[in-house]
């Protein structure tokens, strides 16, 4: 039985690290090549936030508050938040306060926002006051102008997508100079017709949240078969960025899947470069 003490110490150490990592925010600036991007949109900065999961006890709240503060200080051209804003209605006041510090963020909902989840701790929220601080897209499109060019943002709905009735490609305007899709679920990348969007932003998977690294790869325990987990992908439906998000679900820990806030800098020329700070 002498092995019990070392085992207990190791388990406590892993738990402590997992709790620590849940609040250990990574701030990343990533240049992304967009084929055919107009010259006027070269250098467009898009902040991508996702998966706050506010309202449940977690150091993810610390990561979320720091992420939002970082975005607010940098003042990007666009701010996009791709769902799972809250996991319980008690997180709504903080959500509204945080979004209110940002400049007109574009927001979609995730499955936790509407309680379409197996998480026993998640509760649906009405998200009162959200429309006062953000542009909420639910199977809707929004158009804006930047540098004399038209940018269209399309957002999917967290209820219609799981039912298979969300068809965002039908909302895409072929005359827009840049079409951006916000969808909480990365699997959308396999459903989109080729070339309908130039950029797709998603979240949902928390970079795996609990990951087991091994020589030559990583195993994401919650979604071992997921094709798009975190980072930049060249998907059939367009260049895709999947955010690791800042919150947690089911358990308030992360292992080898740090929370992240990302600023995407769109470029016309090849040669992605990466900058990050601890």
Tokens describing residue 237: 């439906």
Q: Per-residue pLDDT tens for 168-219?
A: 999 999 999 999 999 999 999 989 999 999 999 999 999 999 998 888 878 8
Task: Output the pLDDT for position 131.
Answer: 87
By DSSP bridging, strand 45-49 and strand 106-108 are: unpaired
Q: Which of 95, 83, 90, 156 is nearest to 123 (CA)?
A: 90
What does the alpha-carbon distance between residue 20 and residue 254 come to, in Å, rounded to a whole number? 8
| The predicted structure's pLDDT at residue 116 | 63
Residues of the chain with pLDDT under 50: 271-273
Which of 202, 179, 82 is CA-nearest to residue 137? 82
Domain boundaries, the chain: 26-270
DSSP-derived secondary structure for 211-277: EEEETTEEEESS-TT-S--SEEEEETTEEEEE---S---SSS--BS---EEEEEEEESSS---EEEE
- Give me the pLDDT at residue 118, please: 61
Largest CA distance in the chain: 72
Could you please state the CATH topology (level 3) that the domain comprising 26-270 is classified under. Answer: Purple Acid Phosphatase; chain A, domain 2 (3.60.21)
Q: What is the pLDDT of residue 154?
A: 98
The runs of H, that is alpha helices, within 110-248 are: 130-133, 160-163, 188-191
Q: Looking at residue 78, what is its pLDDT? A: 98
**Res 278: pLDDT:** 54
pLDDT of residue 272: 47
Q: Which helix (H) or strand (E) holds 182?
A: strand 178-182
Task: DSSP letter for 54, please.
Answer: B
């Amino acid at each position: 039985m002498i092995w019990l003490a070392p085992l207990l110490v190791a388990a406590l150490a892993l738990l402590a690290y997992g709790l620590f990592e849940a609040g250990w925010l990574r701030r990343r600036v990533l240049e992304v090549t967009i084929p055919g991007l107009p010259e006027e949109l070269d250098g467009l900065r898009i902040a991508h936030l996702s998966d706050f999961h506010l309202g449940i006890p977690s150091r993810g709240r610390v990561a979320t508050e720091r992420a939002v503060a970082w975005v607010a200080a940098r003042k990007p051209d666009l701010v996009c938040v791709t769902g799972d804003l809250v996991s319980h209605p008690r997180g709504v006041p903080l959500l509204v306060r945080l979004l209110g510090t940002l400049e007109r963020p574009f927001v979609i909902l995730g499955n936790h926002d509407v309680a379409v989840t197996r998480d026993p701790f998640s509760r649906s929220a009405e998200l009162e006051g959200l429309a006062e601080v953000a542009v909420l897209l639910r199977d809707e499109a929004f158009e804006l102008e930047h540098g004399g060019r038209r940018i269209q943002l399309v957002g999917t709905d967290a209820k219609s997508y799981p039912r298979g009735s969300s068809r965002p490609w039908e909302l895409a305007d072929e005359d827009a100079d840049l079409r951006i899709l916000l969808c909480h679920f990365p699997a959308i990348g396999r459903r989109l017709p080729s070339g309908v969007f130039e950029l797709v932003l998603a979240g949902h998977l928390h970079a795996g949240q609990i990951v087991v690294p091994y020589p030559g790869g990583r195993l994401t325990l919650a979604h071992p078969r997921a094709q798009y987990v975190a980072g930049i992908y060249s998907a059939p439906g367009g260049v895709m960025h999947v955010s690791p998000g800042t919150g947690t679900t089911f358990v308030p820990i992360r292992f080898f899947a740090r929370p992240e806030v990302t600023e995407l800098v769109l470029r016309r020329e090849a040669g992605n470069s990466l900058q990050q700070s601890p």
